[in-house]
Amino acid sequence: MEKRGELSSAQIIGLVLAIVGFVIVLILLTSLDFNSYSAEETCKLSVLTRATLPSNFNQLVPLKCTTKKICITDSVVGGKCEKFSGEENVESVKLKSDAGESAKVIEEATANAMYECWNMMGQGKLDLFSGVDKPLSNVGGQIFKEFGFDGTAATSCVICSRIAFDDDINKKNLDEISGKLDVNEYMASEKVPDGSGATYLQAMSDRGVNSYPAKFKEEISSGKSKGSREIGIVFMQILTEEDPLKAFENTALRSGAFIFGGSAVLSSGGSLVRAGANSVTGIFTNFPLFLTKIGIALGVGGLSAVETYHNQQISAGYCGGFTSTAKDARHGCSIVSAVDYNNIDAVNKLCGTIEGAP
Amino acid sequence: MRNKNGDMNINELLSIIIAVIGILLLIYAGYRLYQVSKNDEMENAQKVLDRINDKISSLKDGEQSELTIQGFNGGNNWYLSAWGKSDDNRPDKCFFDSCVCICKWDGTGKFKDACQTQSVCQKVSNKKVYTSELITFNVAGENGDVFIPRYGISLGKFAGVNVGFDTVFDGPIGGFNCNIIRVGQNLRNFKITVNNGEINILNNYQMRTEEAESVIKLFKFLSVSVPGGGRSPAIDERSHMCLAKYEGGGSVKIV
């Protein structure tokens, strides 16, 4: 017989379970500490959060992507890039004694920065800036006129990394290193660090792209481009009214400045179509691409100590429909590119607005 | 069920305790989510200001330097600005000093008021700060005046296309000439001529409308950034121009 006011065993079990449940939830909530995440994880998380929220709300989530600072130095101890004066969390990359090896170090740092940026931003397939739809304050992307896009299209960017040279690096050594630098070739031949076995070129497009076609190589090497002592690795997304493949078509056919990965191929009629599909189905074509045009148009070749650089830095991109929770997924292109960080005009030509944190 | 005396039984008490704990947990979860999603605008503005301050501090007398400033989330509503110590329009938080501020302003209300409430500021002493339209600025160790766009540099972009200056000063200064014209009423106070790549500005000249238009065209030709993101340089309180850097060579000079 149960006395009045005494707890029954069911009540005790219920109470204990409730307390345990609360404690677990509390622990989970307290562990939701963004300060303990690395900058890359935090950025990736904010990118995914934004991409998975309904388009009306996703602008409420800021992209918590802080620009990574990479200082290339030959100093054994420390090493300091004047460009990063006053900045926190500057990562140093040490050069080797041999110019060839040093060039490899720079190539690796640049290729990794591009690849990390590409992955962090969802490989360009996520609709990250969907709240940005041509507001007047966000007119950018003038550079895309060259590709056939509307010059007033809205573009948004995140500056993933900045890579700069230590001012104290011996100028003569730097010139020698610059002469051996070839980030594009590095990306075509070296494998990404994640163990997938793919080269940077393949990882950022698809396995079908093993090397640069001859015409593309010609385009890369054509003319000298301007080098920079500090480059920014920029992720840019542009929205397009029409299928981006159509917009690219004319430019692409006239120049060798593009590699279309995946299924975008030239039809027998000479137009760009999606392989195995009818080009007039109205289904937007998704395709990875590499292009030299950005480098040419911005007038910057890549990280270099010398005034002119021996080739164009390529940009990697994705065009097509974006993955989004919105009913009508929008479409456009995403590009990760190396730009001269201190060429403000050029960056503003590329980017209508900047997100992330400096 | 309540007993005859109206007291709660043990089940009701437990339910209430669990409900209260549940609500507290929900509030805490909401707070954590808010922390995750809150914008770090103020923090980013402070970062930018710290960089500027670091640059200013590192310069010795007579030295000049340039700084590229990167925009950030929500930076469209943040403006880099500055006031000299003799400028009565500076926010009260500058007290008696020259100061550089990054202020949040949505374009409504007074800029000064916005700067008083939502801003990060840094006092500047014994320095002169000048900016060009490309947000490069120069510092020379002279008196305590600061010349930076009043509501000029929007930090939503990369190093600000929307440059504005509210202070017109005489040059040349510190080896770098940044002579400023404000689109609108002040524009009519200058005459600008170009001679062998050198732009001459005649002070206190009442410019006719047609001349003002030709000046605007001239600036376009010189690739001086047109305020408003490429829109027509209409007279706009926030549209200003600085003739700081003539990229075609030569310098800007007041005659």
**Domain segments of chain B as ranges:** 41-254
User: Could you tell me if the ipTM is greater than 0.90?
Assistant: no
Whole-Å CA distances, A214 to A30, A65, A203, A208, A258: 56, 37, 20, 16, 11
Tell which residue, B93, B41, B122, B155, has the closest CA to residue A86: B122
A22 to chain B, any CB pair closer than 8 A? The answer is: yes
Nearest residue on chain A to B228, alpha-carbon basis: A137
Residue for token pair 């039809």: A267
Beta-strand relationship, A225-228 and A155-165: unpaired
Kindly determine whether residue B229 and residue A137, on different chains, have CB atoms separated by under 8 Å.
yes
* Cα-based angle B175, B154, B231 (whole degrees, multiple of 5): 100
Q: Write out pLDDT tens, residues A8-32.
A: 777 788 778 888 888 887 777 666 6
Q: What is the pLDDT along chain B (255 residues), one digit of tens a residue?
A: 555 566 667 778 778 888 888 888 888 877 776 766 666 888 888 988 887 777 767 666 555 566 677 888 877 778 777 666 666 777 888 887 777 788 887 777 777 788 888 889 887 665 555 443 333 333 333 343 344 433 445 565 544 322 222 222 222 222 222 333 333 323 333 444 444 434 444 444 444 444 444 444 444 333 232 233 332 222 222 223 333 222 233 333 322
pTM for this one?
0.68
- The CA distance from B135 to B68, in Å, is 7
Query: What distance in Å separates the CA atoms of residue B166 and residue B84, rounded to the nearest whole number?
Result: 11
Name residues 67-96 of chain B within 8 A of A (Cβ): 68-76
Q: Any residues with CB less than 8 A from the CB of B109 and at least 6 apart, and which? A: none
Distances (CA, A) of B219 to A321, B91, B194, B225, B242: 40, 32, 11, 8, 10
Pairs of residues, one from chain A and one from chain B, whose beta carbons lie less than 8 Å apart: 118
Contact in structure between A294 and A143 (CB atoms under 8 Å): yes
Hey, which residues 129-168 in chain A have their CB within 8 Å of chain B?
136-140, 142, 157, 159
CA distance between the termini of chain A: 70
- Tell me how long chain A is: 358
